[in-house]
Amino acid sequence: MRLSSLADYAVVMMSAAARHCGHAKVNATTLAGETGIPLPTAQKLVSRLSTAGLLESSRGTGGGVRLSRPPATISLADIIEAVEGPIAMTTCVDAERHECALEGACQVRPHMGVVNDAVRGALAGVSLARLASPSVRPEPVEGLSFSSPASKKKQGFDRPGPNGSGDNRLSSAARSAAR
């Protein structure tokens, strides 16, 4: 799963706007200059993020944009959904859509809601305040763990394994053959 460029840019731009929180309003030109996002894209994002209620914008002298609420109350999920729409891992998560050819016999469909909720929950657990902070080391997010290179080395994942990757765990095929 990968964010679209537009969603990625929205996260970057909202992080820049959060760093201006409490100061004067900023305009799309300033945010584009600070982030490297092309001005037309920044303008498009200001429009979408304003429509979603994440930014407040005003025109004219002294105009610009600012966050509509504190950065700690805006989540990564809020930003992504403002640009991409509802987070849905598969089309079958939406009960009203019937676009899958496997729908009638699918054994996984009843469980995709749980998967979708877990992904959305992880994204909702990351606040804009955290994204805008200059922190070098990521803080843990509830339900997720981050492995440092040192912990991977302790576990033996730092050298090539039987599957040719840096992960020396056996592939499922190799485990079956070893039995």
| pLDDT per position as a tens digit, 36-52 | 999 999 999 999 999 99
- What percentage of the chain has pLDDT greater than the value 90? 45
DSSP alpha helices (H): ranges in the chain?
Answer: 5-19, 28-35, 39-51, 76-84, 109-124, 128-132, 149-154, 172-178
Instruction: Assign 176 a pLDDT band (cuts: 50, 70, 90).
Output: very low
pTM here is 0.71
Mean pLDDT of all residues in 83-92:
83
- The angle that helices 28-35 and 5-19 make with each other, rounded to 10 degrees, is 110
| CA distance readout (Å), 162 to 172, 174, 175, 178 | 11, 8, 11, 12
Q: What is the pLDDT of residue 140?
A: 62
Instruction: Assign 98 a pLDDT band (cuts: 50, 70, 90).
Output: low
Nearest to 46 by CA among 79, 5, 1: 79
Task: State which fold the 5-132 domain adopts.
Answer: Arc Repressor Mutant, subunit A (1.10.10)
Q: What is the pLDDT of residue 135?
A: 65
* Domain residue spans of the chain: 5-132, 149-178
